[in-house]
Amino acid sequence: METCEFDQKAQDKALNLYIDTRGAGPRPVTFTEAVVDGLAAGGGLYVPERVPELSLEDIAALAQLPYAPRAARIYRAFDVDLPAETIEELMAQAYGDNFDDERICPITSLTADTHVLELWHGPTSAFKDMALQCLPRFFSASAAQLREQGKLDHDFLILVATSGDTGKAALEGFRDVDGVSIAVMYPDGGVSDIQFKQMATQRGRNVQVWGVRGNFDDCQTGAKNVFGDEAFAARLLEEHGVALSSANSINWGRLMPQIVYYVSAYAQLVADGKLSLGDELDVCVPTGNFGNILAAYYAKRMGVPLGMLYCASNENRVLTDFINTGTYDISEREFVLTPSPSMDILVSSNLERQLFELTGRDAAAIAGWMSDLREQRRFRVDEETFARVRELFASDSIDNATCLDTIKRVLDEHDYLLDPHTAVAYQTAENLRGENPVLIASTAHWAKFGDNVYRALHGLEPGAPLPDDVAALSGCALNELIARETGHDDIPRGLAELDALPIRFGEVIEGGTDSIETAAARFLEKLDATTPARND
């Protein structure tokens, strides 16, 4: 394959290492170490020392390649410490016939200036597949290389907190991967019927799923506390030969594939004649944990001509309030259940990376703000950092009723069926957009949230009971009803078959650190007993 200009730039520079946003890590680490570690040793998040810069010609040239080679070129631009042929091979595995569209993330244009980036064509019908068909392969390859280098002599337990979509995507990505087991926690009662069944029916010898009493933030906080428990880490290593790692977006290996699809989308719009090379494209992202919109920021840093980044919130509007005021405050904020449950998040982990970049990489400031958030449940950034936030971002929150109204309106106007998360982004884009065309990140197939899509199409209030005959339907049967009513019968096979699969996981645990650690140890004991190789 011909070497492009930014491949050569990567080869000409020293290895790109990763640093801790809180400045507490003992040393910078390689990409492979950052992926395997997940969380930085000092409790912060890893970011690359160097963000590569692409020329407009580099970006345009990507459109001549299929998606997997596009992704490989961008990884090589980051100077990932894996052989080029390994990167190519892993990307070919990640983005192949496991997606139901050969374009991987096709773009549907609703108008000349409104483009929808469909990120849900992977095996679990959510945007998390874009990263979690990629990360497990790079995690396994990274661990293998570190073992060969004598830097690693243990297996891993991937511990994941999910608000609905990450869990299934991570389970599917890591199932039956050698040297790795995975345990997922979701808020009991806080995910859709389809999301629950996707996780509860998961196949694989190395997987475990728990419901947690509480909301997503309880799951996420519990997971972070477990990661920070050095005594528990020592026990896992001694008794099971296992170290903890993460597949949440705190892992840089989750963010890298998301950067790729924004670079790719710009190149594709130019190639399709919908954008002139160099013209600005605004991006609107429905986000709770800030990772998806942070990836757009890094694409912009790399030279992609992205304009404003619109952060779309639901009624859990902590990010909107932060972007509009400079104060992040959850001290007295009520957690709201919405039709877009994957965004029902109050603690946005990836905001830490964004603030690290906007402060000029001031680790001391980040450590202080994160300490304030942990101890006081709030922090306020300085005026200079806030000004930089306002230069890059605008934000709005969409209430539950407007979210459902938007689904119906877009179907009526464009014959396009949105899921509730994408509806939040669509309406935010309408509220905030200026003269630039807008790319809307569509994060899930509508059939993952059939109950709220049905409410939208039939004018029911958010949270209103479904009619008795409809409420009696399973999630799969409800999706079939919606498909008949709308003519949108593109229900992915992985969702349509869920009712026929046995429920494997139904245990519900408390969200405290001790409960999670007890459940994790029990899972590993079971694996030790049933997997002879683990006792060698």
What are the catalytic residues? 128
What is the rounded CA–CA span in Å between residue 12 and residue 15?
9
Coil, strand or helix: which one is 186? Answer: strand
User: What is the separation, in whole angstroms, between the first and last Cα of the chain?
Assistant: 43
What is the rounded CA–CA span in Å between residue 314 and residue 334?
13
DSSP letter string over 404-466? HHHHHHHHHHHS----HHHHHHHHHHHHH--SS-EEEEE-B-GGGGHHHHHHHHTTPPTTPPP
CB 455 within 8 A of CB 482: no
Cα Rg, the chain, nearest whole Å:
22
Dihedral angle at the C-alpha atoms of 390, 20, 263, 398, nearest 10 degrees? -40
What is the rounded CA–CA span in Å between residue 115 and residue 135?
27
CB 320 within 8 A of CB 395: yes
CB 157 within 8 A of CB 119: no
Nearest CA to 451 among 288, 337, 346, 284? 337
Residues 6 or more apart whose CB falls under 8 angstroms from that of 434 comprise 282, 308
> What single DSSP character describes residue 245?
E
> What single DSSP character describes residue 500?
G
**In 300-398, beta strands by DSSP E:** 306-313, 327-329, 378-380, 393-397
Task: Look up residue 64 and give its two tokens.
Answer: 């001549």
Q: Where are the alpha helices (DSSP H) in 116-192?
A: 128-132, 135-148, 165-174
Nearest CA to 36 among 163, 172, 180, 148? 180
